[in-house]
Amino acid sequence: MPKRFRLTRRLSVAMTEDGYRGLRRFAGEAGLDEGEALSFLFEHFDSVTDSETLAHRLRLFNAELEARKR
Banded pLDDT at 10 (limits 50, 70, 90): confident
The per-residue pLDDT for 54 is 93
Cβ–Cβ < 8 Å for 10, 38: no
Q: Which residue has the higher pLDDT, 3 or 44?
A: 44
Please tell me the predicted confidence (pLDDT) of residue 28: 97
**Nearest by Cα to 8 from 48, 43, 33, 35:** 35
- When pLDDT is cut at 50, 70 and 90, the band that residue 13 belongs to is confident
Please state whether 14 falls in left (phi above 0), alpha (psi between -120 and 50) or beta. beta
pLDDT in the model for residue 55: 92
Distance CA 14, CA 24 (A): 14
What's the domain range around 55?
A: 17-69
Q: Are 15 and 34 in contact (CB under 8 A)?
A: no
Number of domains in the chain: 1
Q: Is there a domain that residue 33 lies in?
A: yes
Assess if residue 5 is contained within a domain: no
